[in-house]
Every structure is written in C-alpha cells, then in structure tokens.
Amino acid sequence: MLVDVKLNLPVLRQFLVNHEITEIELSNLMEMDRSFIYRVLREQRGPGPKFISRLMSVTGLEFNDLFIMKN
C-alpha cells in the first residue's frame, strides 16, 4: 500500500509565526532551495525525505506533528 505524506500546513505556519521565521529564513535554516520550499508550502510539490528530515531538525517537532499520512 502506498502512503501519501502531506505537510500539516497549519502547524508549520503557526510555528513560523510564533518564532518569527520567514519562508526565506526557513529555506536558509534547512539549507534547501527557496523555490522548493515555496512549492512544498503551497502543496505544488510533496515533501521528500530530505525535506522531512531537515524540517524536523530545524523545528524540533515530531513527524506526527508536522505531517499527515493519507492512503
């Protein structure tokens, strides 16, 4: 069975607001291309393993807080 992993946007957006982090700052912290971050945050692209691990590392949040798994 294939599982689709979606970013939990409300949780991430609230984290960014609470910590006063812009999307550009997030991309710098994650050491990832700004355009890639932009597309993931607008659900134009799914998060890959690199995005997932770096986002968890940068935010300190757990997988189950940041992502939603759908069948």
Q: What is the pLDDT of residues 7-31, one digit of tens each?
A: 999 999 999 999 999 999 999 999 9
Q: What is the rounded distance in angstroms from the CA atom of residue 8 to the CA atom of residue 66?
A: 5
Q: What is the rounded distance in angstroms from the CA atom of residue 4 to the CA atom of residue 14?
A: 23
pLDDT at res. 8 = 97
- The three-state secondary structure class of 64 is helix
Any idea what the Cα angle at residue 14 is, between residues 51 and 44, rounded to 5°? 45
- The three-state secondary structure class of 7 is strand
**Domains of the chain, with CATH numbers?**
4-70 (1.10.260.40)
**Half-sphere exposure of 57 toward its Cβ, with a 13 Å CA cutoff?**
10
Q: Is 62's pLDDT higher than 90?
A: yes
Its pTM surpasses 0.85: yes
Q: Is 1's pLDDT higher than 90?
A: no
